Amino acid sequence: MVAADDFPIIVLGASAGGVEALTSVVGSLPPDVGAAVLVVLHISPVGLSVLPDILERAGKLPAIHPADGELLKPDRVYVAPPDHHLLVHRGRVGVSRGPTEHRARPAIDPLFRSAAAAYGPQVVGVVLSGTLDDGTEGLRAINARGGVSVVQDPEDALFPGMPASAVRYADPQHIVALRDIPALLEGLARQLTGKGDEFVPEESGVPPRREWQEDALSSLSCPDCRGVLREHFDGDLLRFQCRIGHAYSASSLLLAQGDELERALWSATVALEEQSDLCQRLSRRMRERGHEGTARRYDLQATSAAEQAKVVRDVVLQLGHTRGHHVDVGVPEEQEGA
């Protein structure tokens, strides 16, 4: 006899181009798919999300933003609320404002890892269109616990970064075009029903900690909290995590450092421009009082600060031109094949 919570779990993750991809997949699932469907889309942490309405109108499954602890039921779609991670516990949903991962909350990896820990071989993980590499580590966790991994064909994705990373590093069992994913999920759901008898879930209410092959302090600080980052190699994946739990791939850490650098440079620009303004104001006051020598010194300081501000401003603008190019930094080239 199959227990009430021994139904398959389908977890889907998407980022850029994800609304179209999720609408296509979820909207094509039958109303009796027999699985609980959980969705993470990288979205802004502020404002309302209408993704449940979009998915419900597109198909035949009810879709909601769940509350923390809500019962998990088949034939329903649970969508991560803005600024909250969506997690899976045995028989229920978790909603958490835990530390960001890959600069995102909600992030895909926490959902995938928690689903793998709670449901093991009953889980189907799906990585859809998006940039960078969120979902890759979580898909590996699903594989390790006996679940099924599915990736949208990168050549079929509007934004191929996330699918390409998952294909390269997660060794997915299925790489398929978007139009073929719903039928695949429907078939897998039928195959996986009742597999909970083969698996003992982790009972902790906290998403499982990663099992890293290597774990060492790095010389880098966390862009979010300034704590020391620990450096981990999970096979050929390089990852970083601080004591708080902020987690980064090498790619997302580079972007976070870039954001931090840009903020610092703009702060320097403001400070220099304000110094130039103050010196100009002091120069005028000195001239009004007949102190020409002092006024000239302030003029020189104002000119110097303005010139330095322009240099820094130009650096920031040039930085913006170079940051848009994503480089795969999963593992250094010289270590490949080692």
Active site members: 15, 42, 134
Residues 6+ apart with CB under 8 A from 150: 124, 125, 126, 127, 172, 173, 174, 175, 176, 181, 184, 185, 188
30: cis peptide before it, omega within 30°?
no
Supply 80's token pair: 């991560």
d(CA 108, CA 88): 12
Q: Which residue has the tokens 């009953």?
A: 122
Residues 6+ apart with CB under 8 A from 22: 12, 14, 39, 41, 51, 55, 128
Q: If residue 303 lies in a helix (H) or strand (E), which one and from where to where?
A: helix 292-322
Q: Which residue has the tokens 């840009």?
A: 262
For 142-204, the DSSP string reads HHHTT-EEEEE-GGGSSS-HHHHHHHHHS--SEEE-GGGHHHHHHHHHHHHTTGGGG------
325, 228, 84, 77: CA torsion to nearest 10: 70
